[in-house]
Structure 1
Amino acid sequence: TMKGAYGDPENTGVGYNAVLTELGNHDVPQGWIQTPHPNTTPGTNPGPPVSWNDPSNPDDPQAGYGYIPNDTTREETFFYHSDHLGSTSYITDDHANITQYDAYLPYGELLVDEHSSSEDLPYKFNGKHFDEETGLYYYGARYMNPVTSLWYGVDKLTEKYPTVCGYVYTLDNPVKFIDEVGYKPSLSALRKAAKKLGVELSVIRAVFQTETGGQTYTKDGRIKILYERHYFSKFTHGKYNKDRDISAPTPFKGKTHKEKGKEVATPEIDQYGNPSNQYRRFEKAKKLDEEAAYSSISYGSFQIMGSNYKDAGYKSAKEFGDAMFSADEDKMLDAFTNYISANHAMRKALLNHDWATFARLYNGPSYKDNKYDTKMAENYKIFSADPFKGYKESKIKIPSR
């Protein structure tokens, strides 16, 4: 289905669920069949914006109620078109007529509720049922009042999160979070990514936690990167191998590594080192071969290598790297989603919770050295049981009450 043009920030100039700048003129996207226009012919009944006639001819309908197809035994079918929070924006019928348009204030209070007949479909904010009699949304576990922005009834998990008010909807952040059942707020971007890949949200969080410890940024606020000298050596055909700090056929290691079954100290020149070392090496390599340098780094939340830029949805390693350096976590998540979608075996491993196969494909054949597979399995169990685990330690701030 097509995205509603009026509700798209690219066309409105304002964000989703923001106060709209203009109301009343909701032109349909180009190519859609239009709903009937009000009758403007002088000397005739004005007529409501509905018709007894074929809706593909929207001009000057006579007064009537609804479009009645020849086959009156067929039930009416409606299609919901939602935004990134699952909130209904447009509703169309099976003839592609727009029959309803809704827009909301941040917590779901209706800003615009227009429909072409007396038929008002009830699934609105977050795709939840809106009870017109009480003015409340029903989420399954409890009701939410969009005017006061509060739940009716306390969160049944409230004792697990003493810093969060049990009556506040989605941690006071309704644009970034969504609550699908009434007691589990989740990041809307993560929810969207999980839906696209067909996996649980806890699967994505497990990968994030394993790759970066759940931390996208270094202490000084820069995104985490890891410079891989053996990649730079490969992409530059060993041209700069005299400088082992940035180019060598062998990868960096930790402070210690296994050698013939024993744990031995790694020479300093062969250690990854601290975050500053990663940026220093990158800047040094960039002066020699920019594209190769961008290709030799793993970036951000999911540590995707720059050499995978095509699968991540970019035209070059530099374009991919610059997008990651913008520190936009949603871009990092989109890159991860694109990367996994482009690699069937990885996606299949995630769907089956086959952590060993996924770690081998994602982290390389030496994945067992860092126990990526067992760490992902453990993190998956943690996040499946506790969706809030690690939120305090991340960039997402839980408000204290």
Structure 2
Amino acid sequence: PENTGVGYNAVLTELGNHDVPQGWIQTPHPNTTPGTNPGPPVSWNDPSNPDDPQAGYGYIPNDTTREETFFYHSDHLGSTSYITDDHANITQYDAYLPYGELLVDEHSSSEDLPYKFNGKHFDEETGLYYYGARYMNPVTSLWYGVDKLTEKYPTVCGYVYTLDNPVKFIDEVGYKPSLSALRKAAKKLGVELSVIRAVFQTETGGQTYTKDGRIKILYERHYFSKFTHGKYNKDRDISAPTPFKGKTHKEKGKEVATPEIDQYGNPSNQYRRFEKAKKLDEEAAYSSISYGSFQIMGSNYKDAGYKSAKEFGDAMFSADEDKMLDAFTNYISANHAMRKALLNHDWATFARLYNGPSYKDNKYDTKMAENYKIFSADPFKGYKESKIKIPSR
């Protein structure tokens, strides 16, 4: 309609407004309204100070006769959303369908900057994105050319982009998808993505949530006893100088049954104990449980980037896995010895620092080493069950 002046049906033909309905693909066009920016209104920082955007990656156009510098502002997938000039004016706005097809492409500058979906170069002549190993067609949602690793992953179609999940996954080079949030965390810590997946798998079995949909927590009564100076030790269910154990434990080299009062028990027990302890000392209770994907203790709230154990706990209880991942990267970044152990694949040292001196009882170090080997060999491990096929269009 915006090109032909004819509406979507006979009724609309008689009307004067032929604007493209919200959600329909628009033909890329320059922003022609004087004094306005491309795209919807944006507040970069405080609403009272919208003229101070935080610059992203710099870009200098090929035309060196004009001294212009542009800055990219991207989303969690690295896709360009806004571009600003060196005076913080918005010069370009891009929005995409899930596989990178341009939904909106508006620019007020004479420069139409080419780095768009995933930060990849968009070839206007062919309509393809270049990823290094091959090209991707955002309209068909498929790669041009088969994945060079296709023989390693017989259950995954070699032409499908990022396991058919372009919102959570990104493919930086054209043949190896990875979770965008995990990729970002791995880059921040300077480790392989398989290292982070190994820690996640070891700590929670790769599951962030319980069967009833709550995040996994583990209540540690010896922490609560320590933080409350043994004040509530009469109730061994929530406070004792010794930690909980599994259903069995070793005593003098022999495997013996653990009394029920000393067992961790099921997920409901963890929440019941936490609520019970919270009524006695809220901050101590929040400090005495480990949370979510990476089971970070609440007592480590400062290193995780929070002001109090309660603030940290409430953020984890929001069930936002990105917050859990950010807490993990903050925690590791704040502990040089832990980060060094991860970089060196020194699983015993990392497990001792991360899980405590009793790490050997649960074989944390050997489990992490095994999981690292698994994820290093197969980056798709855990996602094969989707049985992905070529999508029909």
TM-score normalised by the chain length of structure 1: 0.76
Unaligned runs of 5+ in 1: 1-8
- Cα separation, partners in 2 of 1:398 and 1:384, compared to 1, 3 Å: farther
Larger CA deviation: 30-39 vs 313-322? 30-39
Cα displacement (A) at 1:120: 3.7
Cα displacement (A) at 1:261: 2.7
Contact 2:99 2:141 (C-alpha < 8 Å) held by counterparts: yes
Cα displacement (A) at 1:234: 0.8
Cα displacement (A) at 1:305: 0.6
Contact 2:6 2:18 (C-alpha < 8 Å) held by counterparts: no
- Cα separation, partners in 2 of 1:65 and 1:236, compared to 1, 3 Å: closer
Contact 1:51 1:66 (C-alpha < 8 Å) held by counterparts: no
Identity rate of aligned residues, in percent? 100
- Cα separation, partners in 2 of 1:62 and 1:359, compared to 1, 3 Å: closer
Cα displacement (A) at 1:114: 4.4
Equivalents in 2 of 1:272, 1:10: separation in Å?
Answer: 64
Cα deviations by residue, 1:330-374 (Å, 9 ceiling, x for unpaired): 121111112112222212222222222211111111212222122
> Which SS does the other structure have where 2:48 is aligned?
coil
Cα displacement (A) at 1:159: 4.9
- Cα separation, partners in 2 of 1:398 and 1:153, compared to 1, 3 Å: closer
Equivalents in 2 of 1:32, 1:295: separation in Å?
Answer: 49
2:156 counterpart (164, 167, 170):
164
Cα displacement (A) at 1:64: 27
Contact 1:142 1:151 (C-alpha < 8 Å) held by counterparts: yes
- Cα separation, partners in 2 of 1:302 and 1:148, compared to 1, 3 Å: same
Equivalents in 2 of 1:48, 1:346: separation in Å?
Answer: 44
Cα deviations by residue, 1:117-145 (Å, 9 ceiling, x for unpaired): 55444322112121121110111222111
- Cα separation, partners in 2 of 1:211 and 1:101, compared to 1, 3 Å: same
Equivalents in 1 of 2:54, 2:224: separation in Å?
Answer: 72
- Over aligned residue pairs, what C-alpha RMSD do you find? 9.3
Equivalents in 2 of 1:54, 1:322: separation in Å?
Answer: 24
Tell me which residue corresponds to 1:286: 278
Contact 2:171 2:177 (C-alpha < 8 Å) held by counterparts: yes
Equivalents in 2 of 1:352, 1:198: separation in Å?
Answer: 11
- Cα separation, partners in 2 of 1:255 and 1:74, compared to 1, 3 Å: same
Larger CA deviation: 369-378 vs 256-265? 256-265
Contact 2:30 2:107 (C-alpha < 8 Å) held by counterparts: no
- Cα separation, partners in 2 of 1:125 and 1:12, compared to 1, 3 Å: farther
> Which SS does the other structure have where 1:358 is aligned?
helix
Equivalents in 2 of 1:194, 1:66: separation in Å?
Answer: 23
Cα deviations by residue, 1:81-111 (Å, 9 ceiling, x for unpaired): 4321112234456776766543333221223
Cα displacement (A) at 1:319: 2.1
Equivalents in 2 of 1:12, 1:318: separation in Å?
Answer: 59
Contact 1:309 1:315 (C-alpha < 8 Å) held by counterparts: yes
- Cα separation, partners in 2 of 1:73 and 1:361, compared to 1, 3 Å: same
Cα displacement (A) at 1:76: 7.4
Larger CA deviation: 299-308 vs 38-47? 38-47
> Which SS does the other structure have where 1:66 is aligned?
strand
Larger CA deviation: 361-370 vs 225-234? 361-370
Equivalents in 2 of 1:20, 1:85: separation in Å?
Answer: 38
- Cα separation, partners in 2 of 1:87 and 1:29, compared to 1, 3 Å: farther
Cα deviations by residue, 1:142-177 (Å, 9 ceiling, x for unpaired): 211112222222334445545544333223322211
- Cα separation, partners in 2 of 1:373 and 1:22, compared to 1, 3 Å: farther
Contact 1:178 1:188 (C-alpha < 8 Å) held by counterparts: yes
- Cα separation, partners in 2 of 1:123 and 1:71, compared to 1, 3 Å: closer
Larger CA deviation: 202-211 vs 169-178? 169-178
- Cα separation, partners in 2 of 1:59 and 1:365, compared to 1, 3 Å: closer
Cα deviations by residue, 1:166-219 (Å, 9 ceiling, x for unpaired): 333223322211111222221111111112222211111010011111111222
Contact 2:26 2:104 (C-alpha < 8 Å) held by counterparts: no
Equivalents in 1 of 2:45, 2:219: separation in Å?
Answer: 66
Aligned length: 393
- Cα separation, partners in 2 of 1:313 and 1:107, compared to 1, 3 Å: same
Equivalents in 2 of 1:65, 1:253: separation in Å?
Answer: 50
Equivalents in 1 of 2:57, 2:221: separation in Å?
Answer: 71
Equivalents in 2 of 1:14, 1:84: separation in Å?
Answer: 38
Cα deviations by residue, 1:216-271 (Å, 9 ceiling, x for unpaired): 12222222111101001111111111111111001111122222333222222111
- Cα separation, partners in 2 of 1:55 and 1:66, compared to 1, 3 Å: farther
- Cα separation, partners in 2 of 1:60 and 1:189, compared to 1, 3 Å: closer
Larger CA deviation: 56-65 vs 380-389? 56-65
